[in-house]
């Protein structure tokens, strides 16, 4: 499970670095006071994504561990590739969500991001626990096949 959470957080960070660079240096999507100070804007976005990674990663880890405990899934791990791709997806969707939220509801941009944090943590936890459950079913099916 630790490996899956680590890869989930790595997926978020790797994608964040790329999306931050594209956002700042190509699209110039920065605050009005940061225009012309691209390196400073990039550093600020990187700090924000480190915090985003810690918040989402720890929330997903906590909810996933709780779900595994409730469903008695100890000993079964989610697929690592799924966790990494889930981290990539969370970052890509966050950028789109943020851009659309600022365009549609500029006064509620911060509330929109808070909502995204909650939704991302819950959905990612559900996906990871569901994959754990599938891994358990596969192990039980293969054990039953060898027993007969």
Its pTM stands at: 0.87
**Residue 32, pLDDT score:** 75
In this prediction, the residues of the chain whose per-residue pLDDT falls under 70 are 148
Buried b / exposed e along 75-107 (16+ C-beta atoms within 10 A): ebbbeeebbbebbbbbbeebbebbeebbeeeee
**Residue 85, pLDDT score:** 96
**Long-range own/partner contacts, residues 36-40 (CB < 8 A, 24 or more apart):** none
**Residue 41, pLDDT score:** 87
Give the C-alpha separation, 75 to 25, whole Å. 45
Number of domains in the chain: 1
Task: Give the range of the structural domain holding residue 29, as residue numbers without chain letter.
Answer: 2-147
C-alpha pair distances (Å), 11 with each of 15, 85, 108: 6, 7, 28
pLDDT in tens, 16-49: 999 888 888 887 777 777 778 888 888 888 999 9
């Amino acid at each position: 499970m630790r490996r899956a959470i680590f890869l989930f957080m790595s997926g978020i960070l790797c994608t964040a670095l790329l999306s931050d660079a594209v956002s700042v240096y190509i699209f110039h999507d920065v605050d009005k006071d940061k225009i012309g100070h691209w390196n400073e804007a990039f550093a600020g976005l990187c700090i924000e994504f480190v915090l985003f990674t810690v918040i989402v990663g720890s929330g997903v880890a906590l909810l996933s561990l709780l779900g595994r405990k409730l469903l008695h899934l100890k000993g079964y791990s989610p697929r690592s590739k799924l966790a990494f791709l889930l981290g990539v997806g969370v970052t890509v969707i966050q950028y789109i969500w943020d851009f659309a939220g600022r365009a549609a509801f500029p006064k509620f941009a911060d509330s929109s991001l808070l909502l995204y944090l909650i939704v991302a943590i819950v959905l990612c936890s559900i996906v990871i626990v569901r994959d754990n459950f599938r891994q358990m079913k596969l192990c039980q099916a293969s054990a039953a096949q060898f027993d007969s």
